[in-house]
Every structure is written in structure tokens, then in C-alpha cells.
Amino acid sequence: MKDFAAIDFETANNERSSVCSVGIVIVRNGMITDSFYSLIQPEPNYYNYWCSQVHGLCRKDTDNAQVFPFVWSHIEPLIDGLPLVAHNRPFDEGCLKAVFRVYQMVYPDYEFHDTLSVSRRKMPELENHKLHTVAAACGYQLKKHHHALADAEACAWIAMKIL
């Protein structure tokens, strides 16, 4: 694949609709051409301890952030016509579908690809298939793991190598 959008969400709690940040990396002709990052006011709007421990975000970070429909209105034109790629697609696709449902938005049935499942098939020798491990095997050093934009960039790098 030479044209796609890598996407990553972080969530505030165990509800998939509670996206609190999103990172998008646009790849065209096999090159990163654009990126987008935003904090999002989650729905439901509370943070659990474990999620905050993972990504470092808490309620004060997103109290003044826009809600998902506003943020998505900026993302939609960037990804128009592109397949989406995520590392662990069921999580990110599940988040996207859940937040569309919460805000009663019509889900456009995005085409999704999964670098996690492909890396398991193509790189069985790895000790694990976590994002940072696969990214390193593909020549990318993920420095801010669990920052949505950094994770989306690592996913894009992996996708350019193995998809």
C-alpha cells in the first residue's frame, strides 16, 4: 500500500467511545505527507487510573478540548478516500465506531488494515508484536509510546515496510 492514513486513539477509560486524543499520519505515494493530532473531550468524560497511567493524560488536559464531531470534521478531509491502518485494528476501529455511535454520526464504513496481525504473520521471530517492538524491527524508534501521534507515525512506518 502506498496511500493510506495511519490512525491511533487513546482512551480516558474502559469505554471505547472515551477517545481523549487522536493521531493521524497521512501517507501518499509511500511517503509521509501530513499529520494531525488533537486532544478530545472524552465521552463519557472521566479518566480511570490505569488509562491515565498508560498515556499520561487526565481530565485537566481535555477539559477545554473540542468534542469528537468537531475534531473529526478536521480529520475527514485529510483521510478522504484513504484506507485506514492501525496497530491492533480491533481497538482503534472499535473506538471509531463507538464514538460515531455516541454522537449519532453516520459511520462511512472505513476500510481498515491491521499492522499487528500482518506483523505476526510476516515477523514471527519477534519476541512480541507490540507497537514499539515491531516499529524497531522496521527501523523506527518509537520515543513517545502511547502519544497518539507518535503511535500513528510508528504504525505508518510499519505499514510502509510490511503492507
Residue 112 phi, psi (nearest 5)? -120, 140
pLDDT for 1 beyond 90? no
pLDDT for 78 beyond 90? yes
Reading the block at residue 48, the C-alpha cell is: 480511570
Reading the block at residue 74, the C-alpha cell is: 478536521
pLDDT for 4 beyond 90? yes
What range defines the domain where residue 81 resides? 4-162
Mean pLDDT of the chain: 97
Q: What's the total number of domains in the chain?
A: 1
| DSSP per-residue string spanning 44-60 | S----HHHHHHH---HH
Per-residue pLDDT tens over the stretch 24-60: 999 999 999 999 999 999 999 999 999 999 999 999 9
pLDDT for 155 beyond 90? yes
Per-residue pLDDT tens over the stretch 7-30: 999 999 999 999 999 999 999 999
Domain at 35, CATH number? 3.30.420.10
Amino acid 125: pLDDT: 98
Residues near 96 by Cβ (< 8 Å), separated by ≥ 6? 7, 9, 107, 110
At 148, is the pLDDT very low, low, confident or very high (cuts 50, 70, 90)?
A: very high
Strand residue runs (E) in 12-87: 19-28, 31-39, 84-86
Task: Give the Cα separation of 163 and 156 in Å (integer).
Answer: 10
Amino acid 71: pLDDT: 98
- Helix (H) / strand (E) containing 5: strand 4-11
Of 24, 25, 57, 20, the C-alpha closest to 41 is: 20
Per-residue pLDDT tens over the stretch 91-101: 999 999 999 99
